[in-house]
């Protein structure tokens, strides 16, 4: 079976074709998401960036769920695997020839290297309008602006070469169209003026200058630049000047590489900043970045692109600021530069201050470009910068040179995956294009570091019998750094220079970060790992960021490149025991930060389970201002921390205690995949240790995931094992918890009588939990059995207890349940019930509790349906589905779809109602719960009343039988509909109103 041929088009209105067939991506949000993924092709795009693009500065609380829905729809349209999920967001990586923007970039790179006007023409012909035209999103507009700038740069480069093609009328036509597209481009206007002048159309050339002058004045209040004004004057006098002369041209820049790849946006930014600065004064641009990131290569590429503007001299000096030998003193650098200018040695004074004066005198009447490579500090280069107008200084450094004023700073990021693969292909040739998956893996292992990619490519280029997959296997070994070396060059030696220049404390922090399991970290984690005070840890991180050994992708959140992490881990400095103690400090901080997310009332059970020790660093715990927010951010790091603890015999206890401490917040916020992974790891460690109480604890919380996903058989199996251990050891409180959870499982499964029986056993146990846990399960069970008086009694009892505890999620749940039961029992009006449910919904939103939001939204929508407020009901059900999509709970989601279908039918839209009810039945069957299946059958039966009465009666009859066996109160409603297929709706809060306890 051949793979589908996909073509993504961004260079104009967004479009996608698969095997020549246009895909209809019509939903506005889906188009925005797809456009953003393509505009950042090959890079992981965070949920936050996608939310900003879709909703702007005020995304809804359900933004993440809605984006998941958009991505799901796109995945159904696109070939399998096109969109990849990542802990940080989503990534779409088109293959070779699949994205027109990538083809454009490749053609432009080849055209630039060969100075080939035909290649420029092929690239420009790919454009069909503005990039991603027609998509109403500021985020897309900003991202697409980069492509439009590339388009302009390509047009300008083509215009430089086009006159040589000899077709002056054709060139004039294309230049006129280009000027219409970019009416403020002085370079395009200049080329058009020259072409018109050469064609004998002097009046038209002068008219183009007047048009541009008016446009610039209206847009910016500026006149055209000096070069264009000079051209205009020469046309008026009939004498177009030759190139300016004066001094002999001096060219001292090193050779540029012929395979420069990527960095288009950065080059545009730098050229734009230089253009904006103009000739009013000297221009200085600083390019900083980590070792091996391609700073000098970029600077030389930039110098090649714009060097013609600085006709008098191109100078170069290596300041050796990051070399093992002594950095070059400013006085010595001046000697090098003055000699490059041709100043005789006998004229160069010995004192630095006199050399500075001579240097500035020599530059006064020259247009020069000076590249200061490898600056070690601001002080080393400050006195060397040109001061006259019309000059450009380019500085590269591994440090951020914050001490230089009035400069254009650029921090060089790593290459995107597509850029890294393109660079690898330009070095190693066709083998890379023949093995795209292996090439992508090489780029990933090199982490987008240009030096690493170059060295990997060099190994391939010099080993013609190797396949790319052979290199991947070598890089997949535990240590990749030894493979990334060629002769005297290596990635490790480049890193070593930056490391050796650090003071002792940041060096030690860097070494310890090599043992840090987390993908990213903050100052709290580093303080715990290193034993430093929090402020000192922050200072050390600042030092590491300044020399690009650590990145800061978000404010106060740090990350290390994988190769740097490997390098740090290989450095000697700490004994194995010291590294173990450092890891203990980090794990202890994670544990106590997780404990802090639990309300005080829940600490009793937590302390009983894990025997919470005193914190090793109380100062760090005191500095924790937002425990819940930090754990939310750290949730993807918990797995690596647990793995590290499990692999360290002295620290194995943390491997099951940390998942237990973090359970409540992760469960409430529906991070079920993370809970499942953590509790599975915890259970394996507990089994290995033979710690029966720990085994029981992990089984209980492992069951919670299967419970929430309606996999009741597996949840029951785990709970029965837990209860067996608790009966033998663990005390009555621990046994009561496990039995309560088993009762909750029976209740949500529709076995309410059995649930009540278990709770009677629980109430006979001596315990300190009062009736906090079983009150809700009893209330829900009585509610489903139609025993409203008893249900209200226990709901109210639960409400009082949860108010005392201060748990907003449970208070919100209970407010919703009480409102519905009181309305059903005729004790309150529908308006009063609606107000109370709205109050519960507000609490759930503030707590970011997807389950509670889904339940409250669907309940409120049901009340609005009862009250004839159909538009509000439909909107509410859609929000409920968005929240439920985060849960992957088929039973709960089935209920919402069923109610939604019934509401649409009552609103007079049976055609839309039927698909909702059919989806409810599919999800109900997926859950395997008879109660959920019966309610879905009843909903579909009602929705088919007019279209297919016979099928409606069959479905309602099946539902009645099941509900009668369960003694569910809904049976009376179904019986009424069987007698009269147009009866009243029956409002339910639905299955799952109870929550597993911890």
Residue 530 lies in a domain: yes
> What pLDDT band is residue 993 in, cutting at 50, 70 and 90?
very low
Phi–psi pair at 520, nearest 5 degrees: -135, 170
pLDDT in tens, 804-863: 888 888 899 899 999 989 988 889 999 999 999 999 999 989 888 888 899 999 999 999
Residues in Cβ contact with 871 at an 8 Å cutoff, skipping those fewer than 6 apart = none
Strands 557-559 and 520-521: antiparallel
Domain that holds residue 932: 889-998
pLDDT value, residue 244: 35
Structure tokens at 900: 């939604």
Selection from 3, 1, 12 nearest residue 97 by Cα: 3
Q: pLDDT confidence of 363, banded at 50, 70, 90? A: confident
CA 806/CA 799 separation, integer angstroms: 10
Give domain status of residue 205, yes or no.
no
Nearest to 444 by CA among 486, 480, 495: 480
* Domain end call among 469, 494, 519: 494
Q: What are the DSSP calls for 913-946, one per residue? A: HHHHHHHHHHHHHHHT-HHHHHHHHHHHHHHTTT
512 and 404 within one domain: no
Residue 545: inside a domain: yes
Other CB atoms within 10 A of residue 680 CB: 15
Residue entry with tokens 């660093």: 617
Residue 236 in tokens:
């008026």
Give the separation between CA 392 and CA 675, rounded to whole angstroms.
56
CB count, 10 Å around CB of 280? 8
Final residue of a domain: which of 445, 474, 494?
Answer: 494
536 and 431, same structural domain? no
Q: Is the pLDDT of residue 120 over 80?
A: yes
- 244 alpha carbon, distance to own chain's centre: 51
Confidence band of 572 (pLDDT split at 50, 70, 90) = low
Question: Which pLDDT score is estimated for 279?
Answer: 66
Nearest to 523 by CA among 514, 533, 510, 515: 533
* Closest-CA residue to 895 (of 861, 872, 944): 861
Same domain, 386 and 425: no
Count of H helices and E strands in the chain? 46, 17
- Per-residue pLDDT, 772: 58
Residues 422 and 406 in one domain: no
Q: Which of 303, 312, 307 is nearest to 372 (CA)?
A: 303
Is residue 366 in some structural domain?
A: yes
Residue 314 forms beta bridges with which residues? 251, 369
| Type and span of the H or E element at 583 | helix 576-595
**22 in a domain, yes or no?**
no
Task: Please give the DSSP secondary-structure letter assigned to residue 719.
Answer: H
Same domain, 903 and 969: yes
> How far is it, in rounded angstroms, from Cα 90 to Cα 111?
32
Same domain? 510 vs 481 = no
The sheet carrying 6-9 orders its strands as 6-9, 15-18, 21-22
Q: Is 785 exposed, middle or buried (0-12, 13-18, 19+ CB in 10 A)?
A: middle
Q: What's the pLDDT score for residue 3?
A: 66
Mean pLDDT of 917-924: 92
Domain count, the chain: 4
Whole-angstrom Cα distance, residue 363 to residue 798?
83
**pLDDT value of position 540:** 92
Cα angle, residue 752 at apex, residues 751 and 753 outer, rounded to 5°: 95
660 located within any domain:
no
Rounded Cα distance between 695 and 73, Å, is 40
Task: Check whether residue 256 and residue 382 sit in a common domain.
Answer: yes
Is pLDDT at 304 greater than 50 in this prediction?
A: yes
Query: Are the C-beta atoms of 143 and 14 separated by less than 8 Å?
Result: no
Q: Which residues pair with 18 in a beta bridge?
A: 6, 21
CB 318 within 8 A of CB 373: yes
The CA-CA-CA angle for residues 656, 660, 666, to 5°, reads 125
Q: Is the pLDDT of residue 474 over 80?
A: no
> Distances from the Cα of 27 to the Cαs of 91, 135, 169, 884, in angstroms?
20, 11, 44, 21
Task: Say whether both 273 and 404 belong to one domain.
Answer: yes
Residue with tokens 């590491």: 544
Read off the pLDDT of each residue in 66-89 and give the average, rounded to a whole number. Answer: 86
Euclidean distance between CA atoms 910 and 894, whole angstroms? 18
Q: What are phi and psi of 201, to 5 degrees?
A: -105, 65
- DSSP of 409-442, one letter per residue? EEE--PPPHHHHHHHHHHHHTHHHHH-HHHHHHH
Q: What whole-number percentage of the chain has pLDDT above 70?
A: 92
Band of residue 218 on the pLDDT scale cut at 50, 70, 90: confident
Let me know whether 527 and 490 are in one domain: no
Pair 206, 236: CB distance under 8 Å: yes
Structure tokens at 615: 């914190």
CATH code assigned at 518:
1.10.10.10
Three-state DSSP at 231 gives helix
Length of the chain: 998
Tell me the per-residue pLDDT of 681-697, one tens digit each, with 9 for 90 and over.
Answer: 999 999 999 999 999 99
At 692 the pLDDT is: 94
Q: Which tens digits make up the pLDDT trace of 503-562?
A: 899 999 999 998 889 888 999 999 999 999 999 999 999 888 887 788 887 888 888 887
| Rounded alpha-carbon distances, angstroms, from residue 585 to 74, 196, 566, 732, 872 | 44, 74, 21, 34, 52
Kindly state the average pLDDT of the residues 648-657: 94
Burial class (CB in 10 A: 0-12, 13-18, 19+), 393: buried
Question: How does DSSP assign 364-382, residue by residue?
Answer: TT--EEEEEES---HHHHH
Tokens of residue 598, six digits: 């639990």
- Within 13 Å of residue 36, how many CA atoms lie on the same side as its CB? 30
Return the structure tokens found at 163.
């006159």
3-state secondary structure of 408: strand
927/636 Cα distance (integer angstroms): 28
Contact 705, 672 (CB under 8 A): yes
Beta carbons within 10 angstroms of residue 285's beta carbon: 21
254 plus 403 within the same structural domain: yes
Q: How far apart are CA 304 and CA 314, in angstroms?
A: 10
3-state secondary structure 125-176: CCCCCCCCECCCCHHHHHHHHHHHHHHHHHHHHHHHHHHHHCCHHHHHHHHH
Domain membership flag for residue 778: no
Spatial neighbors of 188 by CB under 8 A, at least 6 apart, are 152, 155, 156, 159, 175, 178, 179, 182
Percent of the chain with pLDDT over 90: 24
The answer on 548 and 441 residing in a single domain is no
Site of tokens 């109380």: 618
User: Taking residues 978-984, what's their average pLDDT?
Assistant: 62
* Assigned token pair, 746: 């029976």
Distance CA 90, CA 708 (A): 25
The domain boundary residue, chosen from 519, 539, 573: 573
Assigned domain for 791 exists: no
CA 756 to mean position of chain CA atoms = 46
Asked if residue 441 and residue 344 are part of one domain, the reply reads no
Give the CATH number of the domain where residue 912 resides. Answer: 1.25.40.10
In CATH, what number is assigned to the domain containing residue 347?
3.40.50.300
């Amino acid at each position: 079976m051949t793979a589908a041929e996909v073509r993504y088009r961004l260079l104009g209105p967004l479009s996608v074709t698969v095997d020549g067939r246009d895909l209809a991506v019509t939903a506005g949000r889906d188009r925005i998401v797809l456009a953003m993924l393509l505009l950042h092709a090959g890079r992981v795009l965070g949920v936050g960036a996608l939310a900003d693009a879709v909703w702007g500065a005020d995304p809804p609380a359900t933004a993440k769920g809605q984006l998941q829905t958009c991505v799901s729809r796109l995945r159904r349209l696109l070939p399998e695997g096109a969109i990849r999920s990542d802990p940080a967001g989503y990534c779409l990586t088109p293959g070779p020839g699949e994205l027109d923007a990538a083809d454009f970039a490749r053609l432009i790179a080849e055209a630039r290297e060969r100075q080939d006007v035909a290649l420029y023409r092929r690239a420009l012909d790919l454009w069909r309008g503005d990039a991603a035209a027609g998509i109403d999103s500021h985020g897309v507009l900003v991202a697409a602006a980069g492509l439009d700038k590339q388009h302009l740069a390509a047009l300008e480069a083509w215009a430089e070469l086009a006159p040589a093609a000899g077709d002056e009328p054709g060139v004039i036509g294309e230049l006129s169209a280009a000027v219409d597209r970019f009416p403020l481009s002085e370079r395009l206007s200049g080329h058009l003026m020259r072409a018109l002048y050469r064609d004998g159309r002097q009046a038209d050339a002068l008219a183009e200058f007047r048009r541009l002058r008016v446009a610039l004045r209206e847009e910016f209040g500026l006149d055209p630049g000096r070069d264009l004004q000079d051209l205009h004057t020469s046309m008026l006098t009939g004498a177009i000047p030759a190139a300016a002369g004066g001094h002999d041209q001096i060219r001292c820049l090193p050779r540029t590489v012929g395979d420069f790849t990527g960095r288009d946006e950065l080059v545009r930014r730098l050229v734009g900043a230089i253009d904006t600065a103009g000739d009013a004064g000297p221009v200085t641009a600083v390019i900083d970045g980590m070792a091996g990131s391609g700073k000098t290569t970029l600077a030389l590429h930039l110098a090649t692109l714009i060097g013609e503007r600085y006709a008098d001299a191109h100078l170069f000096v290596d300041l050796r600021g990051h070399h093992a030998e002594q950095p070059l003193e400013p006085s010595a650098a001046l000697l090098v530069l003055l000699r490059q200018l041709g100043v005789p040695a006998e004229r160069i004074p010995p004192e630095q201050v006199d050399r500075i004066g001579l240097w500035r005198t020599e530059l006064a009447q020259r247009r020069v470009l000076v590249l200061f490579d490898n600056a070690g500090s601001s002080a080393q280069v400050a006195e060397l910068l040109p001061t006259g107008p019309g000059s450009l200084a380019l500085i590269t450094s591994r440090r951020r040179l914050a001490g230089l004023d009035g400069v254009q700073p650029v921090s060089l990021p790593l290459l995107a995956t597509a850029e890294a693969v393109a660079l690898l292909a330009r070095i190693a040739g066709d083998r890379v294009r023949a093995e795209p998956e292996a090439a992508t893996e090489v780029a990933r292992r090199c982490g987008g570091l240009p030096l690493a990619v170059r060295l990997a490519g060099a190994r391939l280029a010099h080993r013609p019998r190797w396949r790319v997959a052979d290199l991947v296997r070598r890089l997949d070994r535990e240590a990749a750094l030894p493979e990334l070396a060629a002769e005297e060059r290596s990635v490790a030696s480049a890193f070593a220079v930056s490391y050796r220049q650090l003071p002792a404390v940041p060096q030690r922090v860097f070494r310890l970060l090599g043992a840090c399991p987390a993908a990213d970290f903050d100052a709290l984690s580093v303080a715990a790992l290193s034993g430093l005070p929090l402020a000192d840890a922050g200072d050390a991180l600042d030092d590491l960021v300044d020399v690009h050994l650590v990145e800061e992708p978000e404010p106060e959140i740090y990350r290390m490149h994988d190769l740097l992490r490997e390098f740090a881990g290989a450095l000697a400095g700490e004994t194995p025991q010291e590294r173990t103690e450092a890891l203990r400090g980090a794990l202890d901080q994670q544990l106590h930060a997780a404990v802090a997310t639990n309300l005080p009332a829940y600490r009793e059970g937590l302390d009983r389970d894990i025997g919470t020790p005193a914190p090793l660093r109380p100062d760090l715990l005191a500095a924790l201002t937002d425990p819940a927010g930090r754990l939310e951010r750290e949730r993807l790091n918990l797995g690596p921390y647990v793995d590290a603890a499990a692999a360290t015999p002295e620290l194995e206890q943390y491997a099951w205690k940390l998942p237990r401490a973090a359970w409540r917040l992760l469960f409430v916020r529906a991070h079920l995949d993370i809970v499942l992974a953590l509790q599975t790891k915890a259970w394996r460690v507990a089994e290995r240790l033979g710690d029966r109480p720990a085994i029981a604890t992990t089984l209980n919380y492992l069951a919670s995931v299967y419970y929430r996903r309606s996999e009741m058989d597996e949840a029951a199996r785990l709970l029965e094992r837990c209860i067996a251990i608790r009966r033998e050891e663990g005390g009555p409180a621990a046994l009561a918890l496990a039995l309560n959870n088993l009762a909750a499982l029976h209740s949500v499964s529709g076995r309410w009588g059995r649930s009540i029986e278990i709770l009677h056993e629980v109430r006979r146990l001596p315990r300190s939990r009062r009736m906090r846990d079983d009150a809700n399960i009893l209330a829900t069970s009585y509610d489903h059995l139609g025993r409203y008086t008893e249900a209200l009694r226990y709901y109210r009892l639960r409400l009082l207890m949860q108010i005392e505890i201060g748990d907003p999620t449970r208070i919100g749940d209970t407010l919703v349940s009480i409102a519905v039961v009181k309305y059903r029992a005729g004790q309150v009006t529908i308006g009063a019930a609606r107000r109370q449910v709205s109050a519960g919904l507000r609490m759930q939103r503030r707590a970011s509790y997807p389950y509670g939001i889904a339940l409250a939204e669907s309940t409120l929508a049901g009340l609005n349906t009862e009250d004839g407020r159909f538009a509000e009901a439909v909107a509410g059900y859609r929000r409920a589905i968005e929240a439920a999509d985060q849960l992957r709970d088929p039973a709960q989601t089935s209920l919402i779809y069923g109610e939604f279908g019934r509401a649409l039918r009552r609103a007079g839209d049976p055609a839309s109602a039927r698909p909702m009810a059919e989806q409810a039945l599919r999800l109900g069957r997926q859950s395997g719960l008879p109660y959920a299946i019966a309610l879905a059958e009843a909903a579909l039966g009602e929705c088919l009343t007019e279209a297919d009465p016979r099928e409606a009666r069959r479905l309602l009859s099946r539902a009645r039988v099941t509900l009668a066996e369960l003694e569910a109160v809904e049976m009376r409603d179904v019986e009424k509909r069987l007698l009269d297929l147009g009866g009243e709706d029956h409002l339910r809060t639905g299955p799952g109103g109870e929550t597993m306890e911890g």
